[in-house]
Amino acid sequence: MPTSDRRYPDSAIRTLDPRFNALRLPSSSVECLYQGARWSEGPVWFGDQRCVLWSDIPNNRILRWDEETGAVSEFRKPSNNANGNTRDREGRLVTCEHLTRRVTRTEYDGSITVLADQYGGKLLNSPNDVVVKSDGSIWFTDPTFGINGFYEGEFAEPQLKPCVYRVDGQTGEITVMINDFISPNGLAFSPDESVLYVVESRSAPRTIWAFNVLDGGRRLGERRLIIDAGPGTPDGFRMDIHGNLWCGWGMGDAELDGVHIFTAQGEAIGHIDLPERCANVCFGGKHRNRLFMAASHGLYSLYVNTQGAKGG
């Protein structure tokens, strides 16, 4: 399914600032790998299996795209309305589940370990996006999206404020790291893990904030505004090795749909046009130079002239 005019250079890849030209390839184009999801989210690359796993939240499944054959199959169904996915530093799948209101880890033998499902004796809302730091700690956002209705989970009244949490990699202790966001969404660490970036959804306009990581990752500094999204809607995002943010983007005008690319200082430098809103991205392939984009009903990819930062 073509997504552009198929010429090189692909017109779907737009340079907004000359600095983006170093990150794009003149003979690479957007590829549609799959159509048939209801709401795609949370892609994660498994290099040892040469595949991408991603969530189809309303259809209650995790899908798998195989790099060798291009085949798509169901990895897990039911998935408990899984949303965000990542891998921990031992290569295990870590998943946010809306239906069960928990964060889980899939062990090597396929069994499931619950990493977090409550705080202070109260149920979490609906864990949304997740990253794992090099010290093994798991960081996740917990807005109310999955309990706001019956489309991505089950309707329920929230018991906790939307927060960003940290699960200690050694003790399993759960700590509130951010508690003053309307709806925290995507999050990612800078390549050197000195800065945490977090999307604030449902604010007007939507924003992305940066926090200095202090005390070995046990405390965050004051937040500072990095990106004012204006009419756009940032969702999930990942960092490249140069510290650029590759953000799922969309809503409003169709020309906003796709992936918006920013410098670490929040300067917009590029955009990848997609025919539908993009919710989240990951880097994969042998050299982590292939961007995979989970966008509404589909999964797309684009080879780029950079590499994804580790841990994303």
Give pLDDT, residue 255.
84
Indicate the number of domains in the chain. Answer: 1
Residue type present at position 4: S
User: Domain range for residue 269?
Assistant: 13-303
Tokens representing residue 182 in the block: 């309307």
Give pLDDT, residue 81.
98
Specify if 190 maps to a domain: yes
Specify if 177 maps to a domain: yes
Tokens representing residue 66 in the block: 């195989």
Specify if 7 maps to a domain: no
Tokens representing residue 243 in the block: 């510290």
- DSSP secondary structure string, 94-160? EEEETTTTEEEEE-TTS-EEEEESEETTEE------EEE-TTS-EEEEE-SGGGSSSSSS-----SS
Give pLDDT, residue 5.
54
**What is the mean pLDDT, run by run of 10 residues, along the chain of 312 residues?**
66 97 97 98 97 98 98 98 97 98 98 98 98 97 98 98 97 98 97 98 94 96 96 96 97 87 98 97 98 98 97 71
- DSSP secondary structure string, the chain? ---S---SS-TTEEESSGGGGGGS-TT---EEEEE--SSEEEEEEETTTTEEEEEETTTTEEEEEETTT--EEEEESS-SSEEEEEE-TTS-EEEEETTTTEEEEE-TTS-EEEEESEETTEE------EEE-TTS-EEEEE-SGGGSSSSSS-----SS--EEEEE-TTT--EEEEE---SEEEEEEE-TTSSEEEEEEETSSS-EEEEEEEEGGGTEE---EEEEE-TT-----EEEBTTS-EEEEE-SSSGGG-EEEEE-TT--EEEEEE-SS---EEEEESTTS-EEEEEETTEEEEEE-SS-BPTT-
User: Measured at the alpha carbon of residue 240, what is the angle toward residues 311 and 227, in degrees to the nearest 5?
Assistant: 105
DSSP classification of residue 59: T
Give pLDDT, residue 312.
64
Give pLDDT, residue 1.
40
Specify if 312 maps to a domain: no
Check which CATH number belongs to the domain holding 272 and give it: 2.120.10.30
Specify if 119 maps to a domain: yes
Q: Name every residue whose Cβ is closer than 8 Å to that of residue 257 and which is 6 or more positions away in sequence.
A: 249, 250, 251, 273, 274, 275, 276, 277, 278, 295
Specify if 97 maps to a domain: yes
Decide: pTM greater than 0.95: yes
Asked whether the beta carbons of 154 and 147 are under 8 A apart, the reply is yes
Tokens representing residue 26 in the block: 């003149």
What tens digit of pLDDT does each residue of 160-200 get? Answer: 999 999 999 999 999 999 999 999 999 999 999 999 999 99
Specify if 122 maps to a domain: yes
> Across the strands, what pairs with 176?
165
Specify if 4 maps to a domain: no
Rounded Cα–Cα distance for residues 192 and 240 (Å): 11
